[in-house]
């Protein structure tokens, strides 16, 4: 095995790229769960974002149009979930699963004419001399805009939940919908907005996969990324800054695993490809050991709300 083939600079730079889809999706889902809704359809929304983003980017020639379409596509899927769970009061777990199964099927259908095409690249932000700095230049200043957007979003969500009144209301709704309702807050409206935001984020994450990371469309290309995003929310104990840590940790494992494969490590390829999933399980186990049961989860997570009076 040739470990010298692994460059630490590239490793860290590609780590950020590998982590971005999951970071976006996990951040969105965290907001949804903070509002007291468990949407297990992240995988479905991501894959729909991946396909709508890819198709829009190819048809218009603009990757930006692609990302916009992906956010809309993800949000549309999420609102479908919102309609079922918030208005028709269906079971959130079952509906989330349905969203994933439906998304996987529908995305394959939409994307069937686009397999094997390569998307136009988004390009890096060129910061001139800064980007030419050794290591730091490539790692900190050499990325595409979406990577920076995702980091800004982390900051934004953190500040929103912590400092704004709307953020306080969102947390209150997730903590106790009955109390929020009694005080006159619109539980369903707040939750719908959160759900739509979560869907848009998942869509963006999916589009990042199909437009930047891979960059082409293949069926089922999210390969569990949405589920891993869900695990990261638990890992992060519903805090934005920890979502970032979790996603980058996960990105690191993915990239390291790929690098080890190309470097010809004497570990079975299948074990390396399974590594991200095994690590996710391990992380889930470790958090359960640490947190006991429940922990920092919003108190009304996944409980249906029906204003009876």
Partner 1 sequence: MTALLELEGLTKAYPGVVANDDVSFAIARGGVHALLGENGAGKSTLVKTIYGLVKPDRGRMRLDGYPFAPTEPREARAAGVAMVFQHFSLFDALSVAENVALGMETPPPIRDLARRIRAVSEEYGLPLDPARRVGDLSAGERQRVEIVRCLLQEPRLLIMDEPTSVLTPQEVGILFATLRQLSAQGTSILYISHKLEEIRALCDAATILRGGRVVGGCDPRETSAAELAERMVGAKLSAPKAGGGAPGDTLLRVEALSLPPLSQFGMPLREVSFELRAGEVLGIGGVAGNGQDELLAALSGERLATPGSVVFEGADVSRLGPVARRRAGLLTGPEERLGHAAAPDMTLTENAALTGAARKGMLRRGFLDWGRARDFADEVIARFDVRTPGAGVAARSLSGGNLQKFVIGREVLQEPRVLVVNQPTWGVDAAAAGAIRQALLDLAAGGAGVIVVSQDLDELLEISDRFAALNAGRLGTPVPTAELTMERVGLMLGGAHDMEATHA
Partner 2 sequence: MIRLERRPTPSRAWGAASPLLAVALTMMAGGLMFAALGKDPVEALRTIFWDPVMGEFAWYFRAQLLVKAAPLVLIAAGLAIGFRAGIWNIGAEGQYIVGAIAGAAAGLAFHPSESVLIFPLMVVCGALGGFLWAMIPAVLKVTLGTNEILVSLMLVYVADNLLASAAVGWLRNPEAVGFPGSRNLAQWEASANPELIAGTGMHWGVVAAVIAVIFAHVLMTRHLMGFHIRLAGQAPRAARFAGVAPARLVLFCLGLSGLLAGLAGLFEVTGPAGQISIDFASGYGFTAIIVAFLGRLNPLGIVAAGLLMAVTYVGGDNAAANLGIPGAAISAFQGMLLFFLLAVDVLSNFRVRVGRGALA
- Footprint of partner 1 (CB under 8 A): 165, 168-169, 171-172, 175-176, 178-180, 182-185, 294, 298-299, 309
Interacting stretch for partner 2, rule CB under 8 A, among 157-165, 209-217, 223-231, 244-252?
223-231
Helices (H), 35-90: 42-60, 63-82
Is the CB of 170 or the CB of 228 nearer to partner 1? 170
Answer yes or no whether residue 149 interacts with partner 2 by CB under 8 A: no
- Coil vs helix vs strand at 298: coil
CA separation for the pair 76, 93 (Å, rounded): 19
Binding to partner 2 by CB under 8 A, coded x per residue (else -) over 87-126, reads -xxxx-xxx-xxx-xxxxxx-xx--x--------------
Is the CB of 129 or the CB of 289 nearer to partner 2? 289
Nearest to 283 by CA among 216, 239, 236: 236
Answer yes or no whether residue 129 interacts with partner 2 by CB under 8 A: no
Binding to partner 2 by CB under 8 A, coded x per residue (else -) over 257-286, reads -----------xxxx-xx--xx-xx--xx-
62 DSSP 8-state letter: -
CA separation for the pair 283, 183 (Å, rounded): 38
Could you say which of partner 2, partner 1, none residue 156 binds, taking C-beta under 5 to 8 angstroms by partner kind?
none
Question: Taking the chain, what is the end-to-end CA distance rounded to the nearest angstrom?
Answer: 68
Per the CB < 8 A criterion, the answer to whether 103 and 43 are in contact is yes
- CB of residue 180 vs partner 1: minimum separation in angstroms? 8
Is the CB of 196 or the CB of 231 nearer to partner 2? 231
Is the CB of 137 or the CB of 304 nearer to partner 2? 304
Count of residues that bind partner 2 according to CB under 8 A: 49
Could you say which of partner 2, partner 1, none residue 165 binds, taking C-beta under 5 to 8 angstroms by partner kind?
partner 1
Among 24, 27, 31, 84, binds partner 2 (CB under 8 A): 84
CA separation for the pair 207, 154 (Å, rounded): 18
Q: Buried b vs exposed e over 2-23: b needs ≥16 C-beta within 10 Å?
A: eeeebeeeeebbbbbbbbbbbb
CA separation for the pair 102, 106 (Å, rounded): 6
Per the CB < 8 A criterion, the answer to whether 16 and 251 are in contact is yes
Instruction: Return the bridge partners of 181, or none.
Output: none
- Coil vs helix vs strand at 217: strand
| Contacting positions for partner 2 (CB under 8 A) | 40, 80, 83-84, 88-91, 93-95, 97-99, 101-106, 108-109, 112, 219, 223-224, 227-228, 230-231, 234, 268-271, 273-274, 277-278, 280-281, 284-285, 288-289, 292-293, 306, 308
């Amino acid at each position: 095995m040739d470990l010298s083939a692994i460059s630490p600079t590239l490793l860290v730079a590609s780590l950020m790229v590998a982590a971005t889809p999951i970071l976006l999706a996990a951040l969105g889902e965290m907001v949804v769960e903070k509002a007291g809704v468990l949407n297990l359809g992240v995988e479905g929304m991501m894959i729909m974002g991946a396909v709508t983003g890819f198709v829009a980017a190819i048809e218009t020639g603009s990757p930006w149009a692609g990302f916009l379409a992906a956010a809309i596509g993800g949000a549309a899927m999420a609102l479908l979930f919102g309609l079922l769970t918030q208005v028709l009061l269906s079971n959130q777990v079952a509906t989330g699963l349905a969203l994933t199964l439906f998304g996987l099927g529908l995305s394959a259908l939409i994307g069937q004419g686009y397999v094997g095409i390569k998307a136009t690249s988004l390009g890096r932000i060129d910061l001139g001399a800064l980007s030419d700095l050794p290591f730091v230049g490539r790692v900190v200043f050499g990325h595409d805009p979406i990577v920076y957007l995702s980091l800004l979003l982390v900051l934004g969500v953190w500040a929103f939940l912590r400092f704004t009144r709307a953020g306080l209301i969102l947390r209150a709704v997730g903590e106790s919908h009955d109390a929020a309702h009694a005080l006159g807050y619109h539980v369903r409206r707040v939750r719908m907005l959160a759900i739509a935001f979560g869907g848009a984020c998942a869509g963006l994450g999916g589009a990042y996969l199909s437009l930047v990371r891979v960059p082409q469309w293949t069926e089922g290309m999210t390969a569990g990324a949405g589920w891993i995003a869900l695990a990261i929310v638990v890992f992060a104990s519903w805090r934005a800054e920890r979502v970032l840590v979790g996603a980058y940790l996960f990105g690191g494992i993915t990239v390291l695993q790929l690098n080890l494969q190309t470097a010809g490590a004497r570990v079975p390829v299948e074990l390396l490809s399974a590594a991200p999933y095994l690590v996710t399980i391990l992380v889930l186990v470790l958090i359960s050991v640490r947190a006991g049961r429940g922990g920092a989860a919003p108190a009304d997570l996944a409980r249906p709300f029906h204003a009876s009076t």
